[in-house]
Amino acid sequence: MTNALSVQVCIMGAGPVGGTLACRLASGGVSVALIDRAELPPMENPAFDGRAYAIAAGSRALLEDAGLWDVLDVPPFPIRDIRVSDGRIGRPASRLHLHFDHREAGDEPRPFGWMVEARSLRKALNARLPVQPGLHVFAPATAVTERSDDGALVRLQDGTDIRCQLIIAAEGRNSSLREQAGIPLTRIPYHQTAIVCAVAHERPHNGLALEHFLPAGPFATLPMGASIDAEPNGSEHVSAIVWTERTRDAARFMALDDTRFAREIGRRLGPHLGGIRTVGRRWSYPLSAMIAHRYVDRRLALAGDAAHGIHPIAGQGLNLGFRDGIALTGLIADAAQSGADVGGEALLSAYQRVRRSDNLLMFAMTDSLDRLFSTDRRMIRTARDLGIHAVDRLAPVKRMFMRRAMGIAGE
């Protein structure tokens, strides 16, 4: 027996971007079906695992409007300052550094962003998705889609037919919907691996994030709040680590015992946080960049990693997906309110025009930064140190960088 359902928007992928999009649209009165191949992760009682998201200031509004921000069970921790430095492993950082103070970014001081534990956001989504009126969740579920000028049909394996006006592909970098639509990609391999973990340390971080450029790639520390379960007695001072390493060496570091692994982190981090020890799990991810040549097709819009993926050098990957969501939910809400077609050509063209240029700029900028800083050539090192110092002394340029990092460059 076939079950029939009619909604305005169908979202494929219930990850952070797809799930947040679904909650935001439904909270605005748009009927939504959310589909994912996998069962929603059972994270009601997860252990601390060291993973966290840097949510830029401009992305917070999307999480608030989606009803997620206020139900995060681990309070987000503000990033108040960012320091950019250059150096070599085991040596002090160059004195020609760049320091961003959130009080200099605008007339109304606000943090650059907040660190949100990955488990906390997943738990908020799991709590919100089943109770949001107008939102239908199918997970795990497999689907076949048909798109035409008049609308779209999503057929689930259990016999459910879902008719909608727009399909949003938010299934990640290996998007099958993008592939089916024949949308080409530009890919850039980096031959680097990101090692992600967390450390507890003796001294407070005071809300300071550090981006330290080393020959193998950037090494970042991001301030997290105190954790009650990172260790048996809790950890008062905790920071997230995103360590970019050459792929040929990353496996060797991942295989080290905790003592030697912490020692390698300390060689790159320096002594300013005092003694450190690793907490939670370690994770590793191969790094590459990709961007879709277009973000739309008939009755289809790409969002998040289905549309773009960038180097983590600026911590903007998830935020670009959230900015896709801000633009797309705004256009859909306006169309729905006026009675227009929420999957029509006009809306899709507007979405591509607004988002692809911003994402393309960040794609090019992060790629250029990685190429500039992931080298140990003396002349290049000298030039980039002078460039860092120059930006630190040029207030208008520095402010522009700060506002773009916060995701409020258009304000």
DSSP string, 84-149: EEE--TTSPPPS--EEEEGGGSSSS---SEEEEEHHHHHHHHHHHGGGSTTEEEE-S--EEEEEET
| Tens-place pLDDT, residues 226-259 | 999 999 999 999 999 999 999 999 999 999 999 9
Q: How many CB atoms within 10 Å of residue 395?
A: 10
| Tens-place pLDDT, residues 276-295 | 999 999 999 999 999 999 99
How many Å apart are CA 372 and CA 366, to the nearest integer?
Answer: 10
Q: Coil, helix or strand for 159? A: coil
Find the mean pLDDT for residues 104-116: 83
Is the full-model pTM beyond 0.75?
Answer: yes
Find the mean pLDDT for residues 217-234: 94
**Cα(first)–Cα(last) distance of the chain, in Å?**
52
Give, as one character, the DSSP assignment of residue 318. H
How many Å apart are CA 385 and CA 94, to the nearest integer?
Answer: 7
Q: What strand order describes the sheet that includes 3-6? A: 3-6, 160-164, 151-156, 143-148
| Tens-place pLDDT, residues 126-183 | 999 999 999 999 999 999 999 999 999 999 999 999 999 999 999 999 999 999 999 9
pLDDT given at position 44: 55
| Tens-place pLDDT, residues 369-392 | 787 777 667 776 677 767 776 766
Q: What are phi and psi of 205, to 5 degrees?
A: -90, -15
Q: How many CB atoms within 10 Å of residue 97?
A: 17
Q: Coil, helix or strand for 168? A: strand
Domains of the chain: 3-46+120-186+289-375 (3.50.50.60), 76-117+190-288 (3.30.9.10)
